[in-house]
Chains A and B, each alone.
Chain A
């Protein structure tokens, strides 16, 4: 059983390229439909919990599912499976990159990749406000965060702690 958990998450980790969000449909298909380890409702609860905990969503949902299926050892198997393929791949890439970073062809590729990365970050910025309930009244809040962190170099840690404290205060009134 533990081996099966490990192998399933290994497959999930190996075949999702392009960040954590891309992993979610695959994880759902594997753990809800194929293996029926948890129900769809449990999965959705887990997804919500994964979004509220810090860290990568894909790793969090693996932790949640692994723990649900088989306690702490299931959790460790799921996490290892999820991150091993990417850790291995990125280590290989890092080793190669250190050797070939000075090649002209690599430099040319990155001259185009850099602005493309900016585009990748800009797109969710347009799509997210709707999803997270942003409106004219509360838009000052993310705007202030962007200016404080992006322009003035304030650490996000303080803003996150302050936000948590403020939200708790708000709900107690």
Chain B
């Protein structure tokens, strides 16, 4: 179990291009669909919690899921698993980035991967939409938080804390 978690998060780390939300589709597929370590509802909760605590979302999610399934050791192992590929690859890139960035194929790969990231964020949205927005109340919260984040540039942390307080008072259990 521990080993398969370490390996899964290593894989997630290795293929998580584009940072942040682009990683979510990958985590969801491995954790919810393939291994069933979390239900879909729990996954959305983990994303919310990961955004309300300091640090990158992928690492927070890894630690949380690891703890949830296998205690503190699981949390630490999943964290290590998800950053290990970054350590290895960044070390190589740091040494040779100035040379690499002049190569045409290198530029082309990242130009294309950026487009994949957009698609992966859309995929994450599709995957959690059905579970997260089921009531009229949810649609209203979605609309307000969307406008606050997009138009009024409210930062995610403030927005989520305000939403949590609002939900605790007016939400449904």
Contacts and interface: CB of A to CB of B under 8 A. Distances in A.
Interface of A: 13-23, 45-46, 48-60, 63-64, 67-68, 72, 75, 79, 82-83, 85-87, 89-91, 93-95, 97-98, 104-129, 132-134, 138, 141-146, 148-151, 153, 155-157, 159-160, 163-164, 166-168, 170-172
A164 to B, nearest CB: 5
Contact of B44 (A109, A117, A167): A117
Please provide the 9 A-B residue pairs with the shortest distance between their CB atoms, ordered closest to farther: A86-B55, A145-B119, A112-B167, A55-B86, A150-B126, A150-B123, A56-B56, A142-B119, A108-B171
Interface string B94-138: 100110010011111111111111111111111111011100011
Nearest to A98: B68
B interface, by DSSP: helix, strand, loop or mixed? helix
A148 B18 CA distance: 18
Contact of A16 (B55, B63, B87, B113): B55
A25 B81 CA distance: 27
A112 B87 contact: no
Nearest to B72: A91
A86 B63 CA distance: 9
Given A19-B20, A91-B63, A125-B125, A160 B15 contact: yes
Number of chain B interface residues as a range? 35 or more
Contacts of B4: none
Contacts of A16: 54-55
Contact of B51 (A23, A97, A117): A117
B163 A54 contact: no
Contacts of A108: 167-173
Contacts, number: 364
Contact of A157 (B15, B111, B143, B168): B15
A interface, by DSSP: helix, strand, loop or mixed? helix
B137 to A, nearest CB: 7
B137 A49 contact: no
Contacts of A85: 54-55
A3 B51 CA distance: 28
Contact of A105 (B56, B63, B82, B168): B168
Contacts of A144: 119
